[in-house]
Amino acid sequence: MADIIKLLPDHVANQIAAGEVVQRPASVVKELLENALDAGASVIKLIVKDGGKALIQVVDDGSGMSTTDARLSFERHATSKIQKAEDLFNLNTKGFRGEALASIAAIAHVEMQTKPESDEVGTHLKIEGSEVVSQEVTVTPKGTSMAVKNLFFNIPARRNFLKSNQVELRHITDEFHRVALAHPSVAFHFYNNGSELFNLPSDNYRKRIVNIFGSRTNEKLVPVEEETPIVKIKGFITKPEFAKKSRGEQFFFVNNRFIKSPYLHHAVVAAFEGLIKADSFPGYFLYLEVDPASIDINIHPTKTEVKFDDEHTLYAILRSTIKHSLGQFNVAPALDFDHDPNLQTPYEFKNKSVVQPKVTVDADFNPFQEIQSKGNQMTPSYNKQPAKSWESLYVGMESRMGSNDAANSISFESEAITGSIFDDEKEVQEALATTFQIRRKYIVTTIKSGMVVIDQSRAHQRVLYEKFLKNSTVKEAVSQQLLFPLQLTFTPSEINTLKEIESILVSIGFIFDNIKDESFTVTGIPLLVTESEVSMILDQLISDYQQEINGESFSQTDILSKTLAKTLAVKTGEVLDSKSQLALVNDLFACTDATLSPFNKPVYITITESDIDKKFI
C-alpha cells in the first residue's frame, strides 16, 4: 500500500494556524497591540479602516527589531519570550507562541517598518500570503510600524463570514479597551477612517477608566484594594445603584492580562447579594496579581481563559474584599452593635471648628406660685385655668350637619358607557370563562378539539414584536411627549451606537434631542413605554445591538423590535385578570405567526381530547 500521510506545506500550515489565531480583525488588533507592549512602547497608535478589513496599523516607539529579527519574526514558532518548556510557567509577557505574525502574514498583505535605537537605518519588509515580496533598508523612527491590509484576501469564505464594518469596529474597540485598561502607564491613540476615537494619555487606573467610559463614570466607582500572600487585588467596582440589566463594564485582569472567568464573576455577584436585583449585573474593573507559576494561561488559543491552582481560596478572598469595600465606603448597610453613634462626628461637621455652646437661663422663672406646708409634705399649688367642658365643642353640631336628607341629596357624576363588544352580560361571562391562568405563567383556553396552553410571556413578546415591526416599517408609530424631558448619560461608545440606531428608534416612537458625547435628552417615548422604563430599555437596546443578540445579520429594525418586545412583555409571575387573558389570546392568534416567539421558541402547545383520553386508559 502506498504511503498516504504527507507533511503539509508551510503556507497551508500557516493558514490552518490562522484559523485559531485570527478569527476576525479584532484578533489581529489584539496580537499587534500585545507585541507593541512587549516591546516596551510608551506610546501606541492604532489606525483602522473599514472595520479592519482594509487596514489595521499599529505604530509604537518600542525597542524595534534588527534586520534578522524582523525576518525571523514571521517564521512559525519563532519567539524571544521563551526558550524552554519551564518558561511557560513563568510568563510575564503577552505573546509567546511565535505563531501570531506567521498566521497574520498567511492571510493578509503585511508591511513592517522597524528600527532599534542603536541602528541608523531600519528595515522595510513586505509579505503577501506568507511570501516575502521585498525587504529593503529604510529611514524610519525608533520602534515598529506594522500594517495589515486586505485581511483574508486569499480565503474568500472566511472574509464572507465577517460582519458589517460597524460590528467589526465594535469588536476592535472592545479589544482596544481591554489592552488600554490593563496598561494605564502607556499612552494610546485610536483612529478610525481618519477620525480620532480615543486619545488616552499616560495616567493612573482611575483616570484611564474615566477617559474611556466618560467623565460620569468617576462618581460610580468604589475603590477595591487588598493584599494577601496568595493574591494582590486592586481596582474599582461600581456602586449598586448603577447596576445594569445587561452585562456592562466587567473586566478582570490577571498580571495585566485580560481574562474571562465565570467563577470569579460569580464571586463578585455574590458580594453584591442583597444590594442589586437578581437580574442586574454590577460593573467592575479588577486587577489581580498572582504568582505566574500558580496559573496556566495556555489552555485557550486566545489566552482569555486561565486556570488557577487554588480557585476556591481566590474566590473567597475576592468576595470578602469586595464586601469590605462596599461596607468601608458606606455603600452597603452595616450593623455594629458595639459602635456608639454618639462618638461619631457627622460628616458635615468634620472640618468645622469647635464653638462654645451658650446657655441662657431665666432667673425669675418659678413654676410654683404657692407652696403650702402640711407636716413634712410640701404640696405645690399650680395656677391653672379652668378647662372648658369638652361637650361644649360639639354644641350646635347637629344643626350645622343638617338632617340625613341633605346627605342623601348628594349626586355623583356617572361615567359614560361607551358600549361593549358583547350584547349582554351572559356573553361576557361565557367568553371570560374560556381562559384561566396556571401558576402565573400559562394561560389555558379551550378549542373544539381540546385545549391550548399558552406561555403568557412568549405570547406577549410575539404580539409586541409584530406591532413594533409594523410601526417601524410603515412609519405609523405614535409618540407621547414628556412634560419633563429626561436627561440620560451613557459612555461615548454607547452614544455612537445610539446614533447608528437613532432613525429606527424614532420610527418606533422615541424622540431624542441634544445628543452630545456623553449625554442626550429624551423628549418623547412610545405609548407602550413608561417613563421609569426608558433608561433601562435604552440600555438593553444598545447592549443587545452591540452584542448582536441574534447572531445573524438581521436588520436593525428586527433586532430593536425583538429587544423592545422582550423588555416590555408580560413576565412570568405576573397575575392577569380574565379580560387581559382573553385580550392576549385574541391578539396572539391575530398575529401572522402565532406558533413561535420572536426568538424562535414555541408559544403554545395543544392538548387534544384524545390525548386526555389516553391518560385514563
Q: Where in the chain is CATH 3.30.1370.100?
A: 435-605
CB 557 within 8 A of CB 474: no
Q: What is the CATH number of domain 435-605?
A: 3.30.1370.100
Which of 3.40.1080.10, 3.30.870.10, 3.30.230.10, 3.40.50.300 would CATH assign to domain 212-328?
3.30.230.10
> How much is the pLDDT for 47?
96
From the first residue on, what is the mean pLDDT of each consecutive set of 10 residues in the chain (617 residues)?
73 65 88 90 95 94 90 77 56 62 89 92 91 92 94 86 85 93 94 91 93 87 92 93 81 90 91 85 92 75 76 92 85 58 59 76 70 48 52 60 54 48 46 72 84 90 86 70 86 82 81 84 84 82 66 63 82 84 87 87 89 86
Q: What is the spatial distance between Cα 144 and Cα 128, in angstroms, rounded to a whole number?
A: 19
Backbone angles phi, psi at 402, to 5 degrees: 85, -175
pLDDT at 180: 95
> What's domain 10-200's superfamily in CATH?
Histidine kinase-like ATPase, C-terminal domain (3.30.565.10)
Pairing of strands 284-289, 250-254: parallel
- Render 550-608 in DSSP notation, one character per residue: TSS---HHHHHHHHHHHHHSPPTT----HHHHHHHHHHHTTSS--SB-TTS-B-EEEEE
Pairwise CA distance, residues 610 & 608, whole Å: 5
> pLDDT value at position 427?
44
**Which residues belong to CATH 3.30.565.10 in the chain?**
10-200
In angstroms, the CA 577 to CA 2 distance is 78
**Structure confidence by residue, pLDDT tens digits, 13-58:** 766 666 667 888 999 999 999 989 988 999 999 999 999 999 999 9
CATH 3.30.230.10 residue ranges of the chain are 212-328
DSSP 338: T
User: What is the length of the chain?
Assistant: 617
pTM of the model: 0.70
pLDDT score at 181: 94
Residue-wise pLDDT tens digits, 179-216:
999 999 999 999 999 889 899 999 999 999 999 988 88
